[in-house]
Amino acid sequence: MSGSYGVVVGMEAEAALVRAAMPAARVGISGATAEGARAAVDDLIRQGAKALLSFGLAGGLDPDLRPGTVLVPRHVRLPDGRLLAAAPALLAWLGDGRPDRVSADLLHSDDIVATAGRKGALFRRTGCAGLDMESGFVAEGAVRARVPFAVLRVVCDPAGRSLPPAAILALRPDGRIGLGGILLSVLRRPGQIPALIALGRDAAQARRRAAQVLRDIA
C-alpha cells in the first residue's frame, strides 16, 4: 500500500497494526466517536488520499459469525438506509470472494451498540453481517471526494454477547484505552469481570487475525 492511501481506524491498537504492515499508509484515528471519525476522514482527504480504507474490529450482527471472522463488505449501509458500494478493485485486493471472507453488507452506527438485544434487532432489520462507527464516514467522505473506498473489518464481539460497561468507559477520544475507567467500573460492578475476560480474549483473537490479513495483502 502506498502513501496515497488513507486508513481510518477506531483505536490506537488498530492504527499500530496498520503502521506495522503498511508503514507508508496515512492513518486517521476516530477514538470511537462520530466527531473523531468525521474529522479523521476529512483530514486524510485534505492530505491528498487517493483511496480510503476503513480498518479494524467490528461488532457482529449475524449470529453465525464468530470472533476472528473477516468482513470485506461490498456495501456500507448508512443509518438512513442508503447503501454505498465499495470499489471493485479494492474489494479484489482485500480478497473478496474468498471462502474466508464475508461479503455481506456492513452497518454504520453513530453510537456504540452494546447489547445483544439491540444487535439482534439490527440484524433482523438490516441483514448486515456486522457494524462499526467509522465505515459510514469513510464511505460518505470517499463519495464526496470522488475517491474509491473499501472496508476490512474483523468481528470482535459476537452478536449474542453484550459489552460489559467497563469496555465502553475504557474508550478515550485519542484512541487509547483508559485503564482508570476500567478499574473504576470494575470496582463498582465486579460481576462484569468474566465478561471483560471473554471480551479481551475475543479482541486478542480478532487483532491477530486482522494483523495476519494485513500482512497477506501488504
Contact 41, 28 (CB under 8 A): yes
Which CATH architecture describes the domain 5-217? 3-Layer(aba) Sandwich (3.40)
Q: How high is the pLDDT of residue 3?
A: 53
Specify the pLDDT at position 2: 47
Residues above pLDDT 90, as percent of the chain: 83
* pLDDT on residue 178: 66
Cell numbers that stand for 45 in this block:
482527504
- What's the pLDDT band for 170 if we cut at 50, 70, 90? low
Q: Per residue in 41-65, pLDDT tens?
A: 999 999 999 999 999 999 999 999 9
pLDDT by residue (tens digit) across 125-156? 999 999 999 999 999 999 999 999 999 999 99
At 218 the pLDDT is 84
**Segments making up each domain of the chain, as ranges:** 5-217
How does residue 177 score in pLDDT terms, banded at 50, 70 and 90?
confident
Q: How far is CA 41 from the centre of its chain?
A: 14
State the pLDDT at residue 1: 45
Residues 6 or more apart in contact with residue 31 via CB below 8 angstroms: 10, 11, 171, 172, 173, 174, 175
Parallel, antiparallel or unpaired: strands 51-60 and 106-108: unpaired
